[in-house]
Amino acid sequence: MLRSLAAKAVVPVALTVTGFVVVCCSLLYGYIRADMVSAAVRQEIGLADTIVKSTRYAMLKADRETLRQTISDIGSQRGVEHVRVFNKKGLVMFSADPREIGALVDKETEGCSECHAGETPALRLGPMEQARNFHNARGEEVLAITAPIYNEAGCAEAACHFHPEGNRVLGTLDIGLSQHDLRSNLINLQGRMVVFCAMVLVLTVGGVLALLRRNVFVPLYRLRGYARTVAGGGELPALGGAEEVEEIGGHVRDLSASLRRCQEELSAARQRVAALEKRLEE
Amino acid sequence: MGCPIGSERADLTNSAAESAGEGNERREACNLRIKGLRGRSVQGAVGLVLFALLSLLALRTETLFPVIPAGLRRLLGASPSTDLISIALVVYSFSALILILSRMMGGDLRYRGWAHLGYLGGFYLFYLYAEALRENFWAIFAAGMTIFALEYFNLWTACQDEIRREEKLLRFLTAPNEQGREGD
């Protein structure tokens, strides 16, 4: 089947077009995924900054109860895996999970090591460095953001409890959001691209096959049958169809007629020779 | 004086024997060529399998060495951006496919897939060094499978056409002998 004219015409075209489309779709998917993850990280950083700003007044007034309730309310939101506030020493001061309060986090833990890697802790991090991915106990992917709580002018001068001006970072907000929706969107995108590639394959193969069949193969097979019949001595009217097919059909008919005439003349000449030989013998 | 007819008959017999000898040699040569063509047509499948193994190796290397050692990075310098590597991959795939399609028009019997093993291996290495192999593995794999499948199909169809021609010649070389034997 692969040796047929149809296969030789269709297979390379189908392979080339579909293969190239798959390559481009794979790369495009990679770009889109990177953009979506980057957008998710920026959105989370924005959310973390919003939380820090909205709890700033409660921190300034040392209103721990309000702060505790705010953190608890944020943690109960759909999609929020964890939210906690560390102090400078890495002690969990506030958390949506009361069991974490009072726990001490190692500086080399992921999420902390980005700032504490060197002798002097870093004061600022790029957006992607603030983000980290991990899987929770349920196996779901979580994107966590570590946002520092900076010592602002109001904090250093407040009467209730003050932080020396030299303390640039007072603590850290750590918030983790489930990436379930993002992953679902990416899986949907993957599915759509697979469908697109399948459609390209079907269109390419179907389109090329249909056009070739209509314009090349059907006339070719008719011509083959015509030539076979005429070559076998059959009489057929002139072959119709495309100009090229008509021309070839005409030439085959002429050749066959010419051959038949020659065979008839040869046969007549043999008969005359046989008659002459018979007369000579007599 | 010897019988002229007898010597002529001997000459004819010798000439027939020489022709028969030549015919045998030509049939042997035909059979050898057919065998060679059948062997050559398998090269495409070998290329495909080798590329699949190369891809498995790349995945395995990526799993074993997800992060490039710092010493190696200091030695080799910064990697090119993944955007550049991706653009290079698209341009390479496009030009490779165009070249294969143009060679298909000529019925080339030479297999040129071995070079692509090197090029695609290079892409695996570049992405691995840029720590972006996992995200872009399928793009390289799809490009490689397309190129190797097309090369295989190209070589296979060209070899099949040649084998068909050789078999036709073999039938022609065999047929007169069979007719001669039937006459005897």
A26 with B136: Cβ contact below 8 A: yes
Residue A150 belongs to some domain of the structure = yes
The CA distance from B86 to the nearest CA of chain A, in Å, is 7
Instruction: List, for residues B70-105, the tens digit of each pLDDT value.
Output: 888 888 888 889 899 999 999 999 999 999 888 887
B27 touches B35 (CB < 8 A): no
Closest approach of chain B CAs to the CA of A21, in angstroms?
9
pLDDT, position A153:
63
Tell me the longest C-alpha to C-alpha distance in chain B: 101
pLDDT at B147: 94
Mean pLDDT, rounded, for A134-144: 82
Q: Is A237 among the domain residues? A: no
pLDDT category at A168 given cuts 50, 70, 90 is: confident
Confidence of residue A225 (pLDDT cuts 50, 70, 90): confident
Closest CA to A218 of A242, A195, A200, A199: A242
- Interchain contact A198–B (C-beta under 8 A): no
Note whether residue A103 is domain-resident. Answer: yes
Which residue did the predictor score with more confidence, A144 or A90? A144
pLDDT for the residue A24: 92
CA neighbours closer than 13 Å in the CB half-sphere of residue A130:
25
Distance CA B69, CA B66 (A): 9
The average confidence (pLDDT) of chain B is 83
Q: Which of A33-42, A57-66, A270-279, B50-59 has the lowest mean pLDDT?
A: A57-66
Q: How confident is the model at residue B121 (pLDDT cuts 50, 70, 90)?
A: very high
Would you call B61 an interface residue with chain A, using a CB distance cutoff of 8 Å? no
Q: What is the mean pLDDT of residues A150-172?
A: 66
The pLDDT score that the predictor gives to residue B7 is: 54
Instruction: Select from A14, A28, A20, A36 the least CA-distant residue to A182.
Output: A36
Cβ of A2 within 8 Å of Cβ of B157? The answer is yes
Higher pLDDT, A108 or B163: B163
Confidence grade of residue B14 (pLDDT, cut at 50, 70, 90): low
Q: Over range A244-266, report the average pLDDT.
A: 85
- Place A123 in a pLDDT band, splitting at 50, 70 and 90: low
Nearest CA in chain B to A15: B146
Cα separation, A45 vs A175, whole angstroms? 9
Nearest residue, CB atoms, A3 vs list B101, B132, B160: B160
Residues of chain A positioned with their CB less than 8 A from the CB of B139: 23, 26-27, 30
Which residues lie below 8 Å from residue B11, measured CB to CB, with a gap of 6+?
Answer: none
pLDDT bracket for residue A206 (50, 70, 90) = confident
Query: Do the domain assignments include residue A9?
Result: yes
Residues from chain A that touch B145, judged by Cβ atoms under 8 A, are 19
* Domain membership flag for residue A202: no
Residue-wise pLDDT for A50-79, tens only, equals 988 888 887 777 788 888 888 888 888 888
In chain A, whose CA is at the least distance from the CA of B141? A23
Q: What is the pLDDT of residue A166?
A: 65
Which residue has 């290329």 as its token pair? B47
- A148 domain residue, yes or no: yes
Q: Is residue A180 part of a domain?
A: yes
Residue A82: CATH number of its domain: 3.30.450.20
Of B86, B94, B150, Cβ closest to residue A12: B150
In angstroms, the separation between the Cα of residue A23 and the nearest Cα of chain B is: 5
- Using the beta-carbon criterion (under 8 Å), do A24 and B90 form an inter-chain contact? yes
Number of domains in chain A: 1
Q: pLDDT tens-digit profile of A179-193?
A: 888 889 999 999 998
Domain boundaries, position A37: 5-186
Residue A273 in tokens? 């020779």
Q: Return residues 4-43 of B near A (CB < 8 Å).
A: none
C-alpha B98/C-alpha A265 separation (Å) is 55
Four-point Cα dihedral B88, B89, B94, B98, nearest 10: 90
Residue B96, chain A, CB below 8 Å: the answer is no
Distance from CA of A16 to the nearest CA of B (A): 7
pTM for this entry? 0.72
* Closest Cβ opposite residue A26 in set B139, B150, B157: B139
Interface probe, candidates A22, A27, A208, chain B, greatest B C-beta count within 10 A: A27
Q: Out of B93, B97, B153, name the one closest to residue A11 (CB).
A: B153
In the predicted structure, residue B4 carries a pLDDT above the cut 60: no
Whether A96 contacts A74, CB under 8 Å: yes
pLDDT of B24 above 80? yes
Greater confidence (A18 vs A1) lies with A18
Q: For A208-223, what is the mean pLDDT? A: 83
Q: What percentage of chain B carries pLDDT values higher than 70?
A: 84
Q: How confident is the model at residue B10 (pLDDT cuts 50, 70, 90)?
A: low
When CB atoms are compared, the residue of B139, B156, B160 closest to A27 is: B139
| Residue B13 reports pLDDT greater than 60 | no
Residue A118: is its pLDDT beyond 70?
no
In chain A, which among 6-65 make CB contacts under 8 A with chain B?
Answer: 8, 11-12, 15-16, 18-20, 22-24, 26-27, 30-31, 33-34
Higher pLDDT, A5 or B33: B33
Question: Is this prediction's ipTM beyond 0.85?
Answer: no
Burial of B120 (0-12, 13-18, 19+ CB in 10 A): buried
The strand pair at A131-135 and A92-95 is best described as unpaired
Instruction: Tell whether A228 is covered by a domain.
Output: no
Average pLDDT, chain A: 81
Q: Is B94 on the interface with A (CB under 8 A)?
A: yes
pLDDT for B184: 39
d(Cα B23, Cα B173) in Å, to the nearest integer?
7
- What is the CB-side half-sphere exposure of residue A251 using CA atoms within 13 A? 6
The sign of the CA dihedral A43, A44, A45, A48 is positive
